[in-house]
Amino acid sequence: MTPLPAAITAAGLQVSRSRSKILQGLDFSVDAGRITGLLGPSGSGKTTLMRAIVGVQRISRGTVSVLGRPAGSALLRHDVGYVTQGASVYSDLSVQANVRYFGAMHGATAADTAEAIAAVGLESFARHKAADLSGGQFSRVSLACALVAHPKLLVLDEPTVGLDPVLRAELWERFAAMAAAGTTLLVSSHVMEEASHCSSLLLLRDGLLLAQLTPAELAERGGSADLERAFLAIIKAADRGQEESRVTS
Ligand SMILES: Nc1ncnc2c1ncn2[C@@H]1O[C@H](COP(=O)(O)OP(=O)(O)OP(=O)(O)O)[C@@H](O)[C@H]1O
Ligand SMILES: [Mg+2]
């Protein structure tokens, strides 16, 4: 089978804000039809990178292309779904009305709406006002709004925060099924255990890409089957490398 062309390609990607470099020249590509995990500590630049990919973040240098077009191109409107860390739904509307509203922008049908609501396990809350939902339920409404458009690339910023283990497992199963059907998913998390659900991992630290590898490679390189430990080991090794280069330069 010939591999699909990359869904995302970044070359020398730099983002600066208030004169500090938030992303410091990233080079990577994301395979189509796979789940790629974007992992890194708080403040490492995950959200900024996702914003650059969906085209809402000004880039100071380098390029990002998405599905063969420059990130943010108007032609990508129906092909890229983005679920932010903050809520992007209307709290005074029902779950169903929210999903229908987002779906309408992409020509989605009533069946698509029902399917997206079911996918996030909110069928019995479809007619409830978003404001009346629990925190975890509320965050899933945004996800349903992104799913309803059937995007080719789905960018999800920490979608499993606030979800219980059962729902989290169900969601990862859902993501795996979507990837199997050809959707590309880029999912950020700082729960390292979730890395095992991804085909490829981008490890960010202080705006630098420490590595792009598979979960198995992460375990091997970090010397632990516990991916959290493995990541910490890689971070420590990178810190030591920086120390050494400071001493020798
Ligand atoms: N509007 C802004 N102006 C200046 N600096 C910003 C702005 N937004 C974010 N930053 C800085 O950019 C860096 C990366 O932030 P970003 O939100 O991308 O991190 P993150 O990895 O998504 O963190 P978290 O896991 O907490 O969501 C942080 O140091 C943050 O303080
Ligand atoms: Mg973030």
Closest ligand (CA of 48): 1
Q: What percent of the chain has pLDDT over 70?
A: 96
- List CB-based neighbours of ion ligand 2 within 5 Å: 46-47
Distance CA 80, CA 84 (A): 13
* Mean pLDDT (whole number) for 156-181: 88
- Please tell me the residue having the least CA distance from ligand 1 atom 25: 42
Distance CA 29, CA 8 (A): 5
pLDDT digits (tens, 9 = 90+) for 12-36: 999 998 889 999 999 999 999 999 9
Pocket test for ligand 1, best of 14, 21, 39, 46 (most atoms within 8 A of CB): 46
Q: From ligand 2's centre to the CA of 91, what distance in Å?
A: 22
The answer to whether the CB of 205 falls within 8 A of the CB of 44 is: yes
Q: What's residue 109's pLDDT?
A: 95
Q: What percent of the chain has pLDDT over 90?
A: 71
Query: pTM for the full model?
Result: 0.92
pLDDT-based confidence at residue 248 (cuts at 50, 70, 90): low
Distance CA 100, CA 114 (A): 9
- In the three-class reduction of DSSP (H, G, I as helix; E, B as strand; rest coil), residue 3 is classed as coil
The answer to whether the CB of 74 falls within 8 A of the CB of 25 is: no
Between 85 and 168, the higher pLDDT residue: 168
β-pairing, 153-157 vs 184-189, is: parallel
Distance CA 21, CA 48 (A): 11
Quote the Cα angle for 237-242-247, to 5°.
125
Q: From ligand 2's centre to the CA of 245, what distance in Å?
A: 29
